[in-house]
């Protein structure tokens, strides 16, 4: 890593990035980021608005491909396999690396169909019974089952914001991903709904590698075990969450944590 910001070594990383640069046309949004993400911990990306944390997150499942002007350099691997290699099937990659967005975006379909969407396109259920099992399991894991089990065929868009976001998490879980990327998943939610999502993240930890982008430092402190601080497209510091918040090594991290900017 340039400027050597990491204060931890990760054995067997689930995903790792080496010297990743992202350009939007001429503008460079990410300036050489190297980072490892492991399976057992929740990793939080923090930093002020426009620091590139969301952009970097979207390189991890190649969602930047949908932006015509975006270009990615460097290497990102999932279980040691280069995800930008020509042989990599983007569709398969995204099934393995799921994503939850800033604003809840359930499809205008029933709750059941929202969950069944992924399994259906990936052929994960052989029968209606299989599908029922997948839907129930996913909704249970997303902590939504008890609230919606009697109205699975109501529209997903009729749920409250927090429920919609948990539905989106359940939808991502339904395709059995290995990594779940969350892009500020609580920024559109009220405190109670936020607490529920944070609780859910705790429960999902260990089963999936979770990377969460947040602009809320308290949230990063609450939900994550590893924190990476981004600033101006660079990874400034990466370490154990408690270290970052109590004993930051970099001046910029310290300034951000103590609220000097951001």
Partner 1 sequence: MTGPAILLLLAGLGAIAWVSARARALRLQTAARETGRRDAVHSLPGYHGWYVALWTLIPAGIFLAVWANVSPGLVTQAVLADPAAQSLPADAFSRSAILGEARAIATGLQTGAFNPASQALVEPYAQATSTYGVAGAALALILAFAGGAYAFTRIRPDFRARTRVERLVMTTLLVASLLAIVTTLGIVASLLWESFRFFSMVNPLDFLFGLKWSPQSAAMGYGNDDAFGAVPLFWGTIFIGAIIAMIVAIPLGLMSAIYLTQYATPTVRKWMKPTLEMLAGVPTVVYGYFAALTIAPALRDFAVMIGIHGASSESALAAGLVMGVMIIPFVSSMADDSIAAVPQSMRDGSLAMGATTSETITRVLIPAALPGVVGGVLLAVSRAIGETMIVVMAAGLAANLTLNPFASVTTVTTQIVQLLTGDQEFDSAKTLAAFALGLVLFVVTLLLNIVALRVVKKYREAYE
- Residues lying near partner 1 in the complex (CB under 8 A) are found at 61, 63, 66, 68, 91-95, 98-99, 101, 103, 105-109, 117-118, 121-122, 157, 168, 171-172, 175
* CA atoms of 169 and 182, how far apart (whole Å): 9
CB of 87 to partner 1, least distance (A): 17
Which is closer to partner 1, CB of 1 or CB of 88? 88
Which is closer to partner 1, CB of 1 or CB of 188? 188
CB of 119 to partner 1, least distance (A): 10
CB of 23 to partner 1, least distance (A): 18
* H/E segment holding residue 234: strand 234-240
Which is closer to partner 1, CB of 19 or CB of 81? 81
CB of 85 to partner 1, least distance (A): 17
Residues near 247 by Cβ (< 8 Å), separated by ≥ 6? none
One-character DSSP codes across 44-109: EEE-STTSSHHHHHHHTTTGGGGSTTEEEEEEEEETTEETTSTT--HHHHHHHEEEE-SS----SS
Closest by CA position to 29, among listed 11, 66, 54: 54
Which is closer to partner 1, CB of 176 or CB of 234? 176
């Amino acid at each position: 890593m340039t400027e050597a910001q990491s204060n931890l070594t990760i054995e067997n990383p689930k995903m790792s990035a080496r010297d990743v640069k992202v350009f939007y046309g001429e503008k460079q949004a990410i300036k050489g980021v190297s980072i490892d993400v492991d399976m057992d911990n929740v990793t939080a990306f923090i930093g002020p608005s426009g620091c590139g944390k969301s952009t970097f997150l979207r390189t991890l499942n190649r969602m930047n491909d949908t932006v015509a002007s975006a270009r990615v350099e460097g290497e990102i691997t999932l279980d040691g396999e280069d995800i930008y290699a020509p042989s990599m099937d983007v569709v398969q990659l995204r099934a393995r690396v799921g994503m939850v967005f800033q604003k809840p975006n359930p499809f205008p379909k029933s709750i059941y169909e929202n969950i069944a969407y992924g399994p259906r396109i990936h052929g994960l259920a052989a029968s209606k019974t299989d599908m029922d099992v997948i839907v129930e399991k996913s909704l249970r894991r997303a902590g939504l089952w008890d609230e919606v089990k009697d109205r699975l065929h109501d529209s997903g868009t009729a749920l409250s914001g927090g429920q919609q976001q948990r539905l989106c998490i359940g939808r991502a879980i339904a395709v059995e991903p290995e990594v779940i990327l969350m892009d500020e998943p609580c920024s559109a939610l009220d405190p109670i709904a936020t607490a529920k999502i944070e609780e859910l993240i705790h429960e999902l930890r260990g089963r999936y590698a979770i990377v969460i982008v947040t602009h809320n430092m308290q949230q990063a402190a609450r939900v994550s075990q590893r924190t990476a601080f981004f600033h101006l497209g660079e990874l400034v510091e990466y370490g154990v969450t408690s270290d970052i918040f109590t004993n930051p090594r970099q001046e910029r991290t310290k300034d951000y944590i103590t609220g000097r900017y951001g």
